[in-house]
Structure 1
């Protein structure tokens, strides 16, 4: 079990449909939540910005016990029509910046573990990491890359008492698909309730779960 009472958790992408809901639920569970988002001026494609967000969170709260990476962008359309700039942005936001966040947060989370707490990282790669989908090939690849990194890093980080958990919900009813960086969203099946998805993720944090496949939602 992970006690969230008083835990300092940084939520990245905290203004998004899932990020906002997760942040609110963490606060309701007693956590002290630091919120980071592009709308707040945090362009996390820059490693120096990531470093600054982590340093300022630690400076304000004295420690870091958890990191939730809920930021992301999506693009639609056939693989044959992908523009290089679209691919670059998908991987910069969905993959590279998340990897940087995980690697740069390590010393803070390791210090939390040394103090007897149970620090964690949550990534949200989504069902496309399990089942790459036609029409979102590059998006699927960017999320699969994140899931692969999280799975491998989890085996390393647990030696330092840090848990990394990847969540892979199916299509969820947020506004992400309404604001793609390229293409137009196709017709989706009935989406998952974002409130239920957020609640499931926070429950998994508290219960010490190590993986949240699509079947968990």
Structure 2
């Protein structure tokens, strides 16, 4: 009840801090978790209102067995799997000198280990999806300060997708996105401070509706043999 009226990250942190007994790092983690849960709930409600029948499962993509089980259960429930979008990812930006091995593995494993597990699971299905999209990052193409782990993970993502396409003959494309702007109710990965830094560097953010349309155009009319594409904001 004490957090229900807190709508912004700052308000939420203040409400959690008022409880007492927690360190700032614990308060930040709790606030991030609450915001993520709210976003999931809002997304499910939006999809339902649009006529969809969403199902939400929580799976650690660094655990291949859990990924395989989830894929097989979904396929068994529906009898088919038409398309897959892999958008898992975490960022823990630090310079190499400040980066721990554990942090590197969290960032790298969520992307690379997760994609490998997913693609392996898809190969075990009776019929592969018509398309598989892997959400990469412009950092894999151009690099980005403090993102050595994230850049490496997204580069690996492209390699895994290309190998899957070559092995199976089925379409798999890695989309190396520039940064997306937040949308109403969906903060995304670009917070206020990061958005301010991008603005200082003259980097424009992708409008969510424009980004969605770009992906749909790529799937409808893009060259099917292409295993990677780069999308940035218009006029970037």
Q: Normalising by structure 2, what TM-score?
A: 0.65
- 1:160-201 per-position Cα deviation (integer Å, ceiling 9, x unaligned): xx101111121112421339xxxx747112211122112211
Could you tell me which residue of structure 2 aligns to residue 111 of structure 1? 127
Q: Deviations over 1:122-147 (max 9, x none)?
A: 00112111112222111111111111
The CA deviation at 1:208 is: 5.1
Contact 1:125 1:166 in 2 (8 A): yes
> Does the aligned pair in 2 maintain the 1:16–1:71 contact within 8 Å?
no
Q: 1:190 to 1:144 in 2, by over 3 A?
A: same
SS at match of 1:213: strand
Structure 1 unaligned blocks of 5 or more:
1-14, 113-117
Aligned to 2:20: none
Q: Does 1:72 align with 2:83?
A: no
How many residues align? The count is 180
Shift of 1:81: 0.6
Which residue of the partner structure matches residue 5 of structure 1? none
Distance 1:193 1:35, change over 3 A: farther
Alpha carbons of structure 1 residues 70 and 16: separation in structure 2 relative to 1, 3 Å? farther
Between 1:147-156 and 1:90-99, the stretch displaced more is 147-156
Secondary structure of 2:103 counterpart = helix
- Paired position in structure 2 for 1:132: 143
CA deviations over 1:90-141 (Å, ceiling 9, x no partner) = 1111111111101111232x625xxxxx711100112111112222111111
Matches for 1:76-91 after TM superposition, within 5 Å: 76-91=93-108
Task: State the superposition RMSD in angstroms.
Answer: 3.2
Contact 2:181 2:208 in 1 (8 A): yes
Bigger Cα Rg: 2
1:145 aligns with 2:147: no
1:165 aligned partner? 173
- Taking a change above 3 Å as real, the CA distance of residues 44 and 215 of structure 1, as seen in their structure-2 partners, is closer
Q: Structure 2: which 5+ runs fail to align?
A: 1-37, 183-187
CA contact (8 A) 1:127 1:213 kept: no
The answer on whether the counterparts of 1:95 and 1:146 sit within 8 Å (CA) in structure 2 is: yes
Structure-1 separation of matches of 2:53 and 2:220: 15
